[in-house]
Structure 1
Amino acid sequence: MNENQAGKHTETPQLKQVLSLPTGILLVAGIMIGSGVFKKIVPMSQALHSETYILLAWIIGGVITMFGAFTYAGLATMTTQTGGVYEYLRLIYGDFIAFLFGWTIFTIVGSGAVAALSFVFAQSVNTLLPLPEFLSSFKNISIGDSIFPFADSGIKLLAVLTIIVLTWVNYKGVSKAGALNNIVTSAKILGILLLIIAGFLYSGHPVVVKGAEAVQPPTGAALFSGLFGAMLSALWAYDGWANITFVTGEIKNPKRNIPLAIVGGVGIAMTLYVLLNYAYMKVLPVSQLALLGSNKIAAAEIAGIIMGKPGVIIIAVLIMTCTFGALNGCIISYPRVYFRMAQEKVFFKKAALIHPDYRTPHISLLYSAIWSIILVCSGTFDQITNLVIFASYAFFALATWGLIRMKIKGVIKSKVIGYPVIPVIIILFCIALTINTIITQPLASMMGLLLILSGAPFYLYFKKKLV
């Protein structure tokens, strides 16, 4: 070994700032554009029964998301450390609040997203190429009559293998993972644009669904509740836009490029979502979309009307591409939060290690993969993530209030678009959303809150340096 090689391994390795602004924009768009936009038109049609209100829900959801982008753009000027929202909360409120956010990401939100996306990807493959259920004889074996680890064994195996392969790609270097993201995200944007064009050009007769009758849109309190419910569907499809902040330490010129990446990525997703949903309703009326049922993929039904069986195959491939790209983006971003937590000594200490050659948080990536694989095998990821829908908006409100505090203290000196009006709107929206969720889903909300607070003993555990 020569002196240069020896020096290479004696230095403390650091993350490398190698991701460009275009990669950042595509990373934001790539994480956001998963499977939600292909399915959410059905529950939205059932709640609102109006093209105008449905498009309004998508636009309002997009505007709220863009407002959030402006807010996080301001917070991003505080630090160049990786970890994003975790780091903002730590700087504003201290370790405990930040830890609860990070712990929620690790145990539920982030790992649950990785598990869910890998499972949906495998399901999409299964629609085109049926996967063998090699453990079908054990599918009824359960843990507490709620966890069936051997059910859907073929789909689960492919989901696990996909997590392993993408974790390996990310392990080998963030630039490789970023390049893969650029290719996949560009492909899925092109595919969605082609579907939009096909919908806009469709001139056939509407397909009549038996039993479909026009239903009057809701009014008054029912409209408010329905619009809120539809916005939850839209916001689920918009989710993931803040993940770019988690990789701050690997973005070139992060104080400039993080805000631009968020605004650019959200703008792309919002435009595609509104146009695609308008195209859906141009082909199939809202009254008929409402009858498709929760197990139907609206985009596949509509593509089938326009192009026949090839259209259904095309949508399956497009959903595969979208979920694969979003999964890769999640595997890029979420482990950086655990890495930053470990640096602050509130997580397993080995997660703070950086690979000496690849300059990636390789142990953090492995922890993320292992827990996500456990969630895949348990089949509980949907139930768990549904419990904490409101949690992300509670932390969102805290981060936004933190922006106001930091502006008042003079810590954030740069101009924040729409300040202070937009931050106040976001806080009021988050409060309304949280209250509405607690009222309509009290048991799930309470369980979600308990899951978040379950991090408290682990915080004490890490603080006492028992690991």
Structure 2
Amino acid sequence: MKAPAPDATLTRGLTLVPTAAIVIAVVIGTGVFVKARVMTCNVGSPGAVLAVYGLAGALTLFGALAYAELATMMPRAGGAYNYLGAAFGRRWAFLYGWMETFVGNGAGLAALAILFVVFLNDLVGGALAPWAVRLLPLAVLGVVVALNLTSVRASGRMATVLTAAKVALVLGIGMGAFWLGDGSWAHFGQTGAAAACADVPSRARFGVAGFGAAMIGALWSYNGWQYMVGVAGEVRRPSWTLPRALVGATVLIVALYVLINAAYFYVLPPEAVAAVSPASSVAREVAVRFLGAGAASAMAAGLVMSSFGTLYTSVLTTSRIPFAMAADGLLPAPLARISPRTRVPRNAVLLAGALGVVFAASGTFEILSDLFVFATLLFQGLTVGALFVLRRQRPEAERPVRTWGYPVVPALYLLAVGFLLVNTLVATPGRALAGLGLIALGLPVYAHYAHRLPPDDPADWLGDEPAADEPQAVAPHPRAVPDPEPVL
């Protein structure tokens, strides 16, 4: 099943700080700055919004704990593609890669590139010409791709710088609101139920449906943590680094999100939060309250930087999925080629950028992004489900890290994901079924590649090689790159 190892190999150049920085840079994009408005409309009160963010954060942490075990079992490029293949077979692994590469990644990168230009236009006071607004997303995608063609060490350093700026932005708004804002703790006892809530459907307000919609919004703000395992094949000492980066970064993000959302409601009453224009952001309105009119430009600059950081690290992490698929013969072989100079999968990076350009130019990314949410939840649930399958089927496999609280913690994660999938199917059945349709479109593509491959063997997916932290005693998996000597 596995393709021969390429002449050049990936290099394990990511240590703890840049690995954790990649998690934070992918996750903290724009959602936390804008979602409070819709979530207040969904659940009504500040306390409920904070509770949803805390619950969604706990759910994200539960998922990260499960991914940590799987990632240290199979510390390879492609992340969940490997785990699904080991547990459920080649077909499900392909369908995951199909969705992430050709739908989610392309549409997601297009959306981020366009948001970058929207925020840039706000920063320059709307001075960009219409042609520039249309062409600049394509240009920024080109810049991001070019930066991702440098070495993974350089990418890690860039991610660290961008992450430091993102954390500073969230802390600046959150702490500045409490220190400088003329707010009131009385706001936390009020409700935003009477707000008009533009563009929020009435069926997504209050009750179980409102709670589910708010959870989807919060999880969208947390989305992206799972993509870091895509670069597991380039992480140094993965059994030590991966769990610390995943869990540590997730805990930090939850704390930052609760802080900044509490700051929003300290400065603005919930009815004012719910009434913020969809064309603006809650973070901007709050910053203007305690910094004055100049805060609008500062906030626009912060959102430009934040969207660029998420775009940059998204290309870094998701490009490793088509690389892994091509190494297994499930996509064209050139996508598995690695640059002998920079040791990055250059063709896979170029593919990610090209898909982003196509979606940005076509304008279809918004529809596909909405449809992709259901598929994302489905595959996240399947990935955590893979933990149970592999514990049962391969109990002898080496597990450098074991999921804390197993089986309760991953089971709670699966129950929550199941609730959200059902809620999405009931609330927006058209989008959910269309998301399943997009998954099904990958089946004929899978058949085209799979018929030329030998029968699927679970042992190939699990690897049967020693952990990447230890000296290699047998021939390594094509994507299992030995570590350099540990650097203390």
TM over 0.5: yes
Q: What SS class does the counterpart of residue 384 from structure 2 fall into?
A: helix
Between the aligned partners of 1:263 and 1:432, the Cα distance in structure 2 is: 24
Q: What SS class does the counterpart of residue 40 from structure 1 fall into?
A: helix
Check the 8 A contact 1:112/1:381 in 2, yes or no: yes
Q: What is the CA deviation profile of residues 154-175 of structure 1, one whole-angstrom value per residue up to 9, with x for unaligned ones? A: 2232111111111111112222
Between the aligned partners of 1:128 and 1:53, the Cα distance in structure 2 is: 33
The alpha-carbon deviation at position 205 of structure 1 amounts to 6.3
Of 114, 126, 134 in structure 2, the residue corresponding to residue 119 of structure 1 is 114
5 Å matches for 1:238-257? 238-257=222-241
Change (3 A) 1:22 1:113: same
Partner of 2:406: 419
Change (3 A) 1:205 1:330: closer
Of 67, 72, 90 in structure 1, the residue corresponding to residue 62 of structure 2 is 67
User: Which one is further off, 159-168 or 16-25?
Assistant: 159-168
5 Å matches for 1:316-327? 316-327=300-311
Supply the RMSD in Å over aligned alpha carbons: 2.1
Of 138, 141, 161 in structure 2, the residue corresponding to residue 160 of structure 1 is 138
Of 49, 72, 76 in structure 1, the residue corresponding to residue 44 of structure 2 is 49
Change (3 A) 1:408 1:285: same
Of 437, 448, 453 in structure 1, the residue corresponding to residue 424 of structure 2 is 437
Of 1, 8, 14 in structure 1, the residue corresponding to residue 9 of structure 2 is 14
5 Å matches for 1:154-233? 154-204=132-182, 215=193, 222-233=206-217
Instruction: Report the AA paired with residue 84 of structure 1.
Output: G
Between the aligned partners of 1:403 and 1:366, the Cα distance in structure 2 is: 32
Partner of 1:355: 339
Between the aligned partners of 1:39 and 1:215, the Cα distance in structure 2 is: 18
Between the aligned partners of 1:462 and 1:186, the Cα distance in structure 2 is: 42
Of 52, 61, 84 in structure 2, the residue corresponding to residue 89 of structure 1 is 84
Check the 8 A contact 1:80/1:254 in 2, yes or no: yes
Long gaps (5+) in structure 1: 1-9, 134-151, 207-211
The alpha-carbon deviation at position 213 of structure 1 amounts to 8.1
What's the TM-score, normalizing by structure 1? Answer: 0.89
Long gaps (5+) in structure 2: 185-189, 196-201, 454-488
Change (3 A) 1:442 1:153: farther
Of 330, 338, 354 in structure 2, the residue corresponding to residue 346 of structure 1 is 330
Aligned length: 432
The alpha-carbon deviation at position 415 of structure 1 amounts to 2.8
Instruction: Report the AA paired with residue 383 of structure 1.
Output: I
The alpha-carbon deviation at position 216 of structure 1 amounts to 7.6
Instruction: Report the AA paired with residue 47 of structure 1.
Output: N
The alpha-carbon deviation at position 181 of structure 1 amounts to 1.0
Partner of 2:445: 458
The alpha-carbon deviation at position 399 of structure 1 amounts to 1.4
Change (3 A) 1:131 1:456: farther
Between the aligned partners of 2:266 and 2:6, the Cα distance in structure 1 is: 60
Partner of 1:209: none
Partner of 2:246: 262
Between the aligned partners of 2:377 and 2:72, the Cα distance in structure 1 is: 21
Between the aligned partners of 1:345 and 1:203, the Cα distance in structure 2 is: 57
Of 378, 388, 391 in structure 2, the residue corresponding to residue 404 of structure 1 is 388
Between the aligned partners of 2:31 and 2:6, the Cα distance in structure 1 is: 44
Q: What is the CA deviation profile of residues 441-460 of structure 1, one whole-angstrom value per residue up to 9, with x for unaligned ones? A: 01111111111110001111
Q: What is the CA deviation profile of residues 259-309 of structure 1, one whole-angstrom value per residue up to 9, with x for unaligned ones? A: 111111111211111000000000001111111132221111111111121
Partner of 2:457: none
Q: What is the CA deviation profile of residues 333-356 of structure 1, one whole-angstrom value per residue up to 9, with x for unaligned ones? A: 111000000001111211000011
Instruction: Report the AA paired with residue 138 of structure 2.
Output: V
Q: What SS class does the counterpart of residue 294 from structure 1 fall into?
A: coil
Check the 8 A contact 1:59/1:270 in 2, yes or no: yes
Partner of 1:40: 35
Between the aligned partners of 1:351 and 1:154, the Cα distance in structure 2 is: 32
Check the 8 A contact 1:406/1:412 in 2, yes or no: no
Check the 8 A contact 2:63/2:413 in 1, yes or no: yes
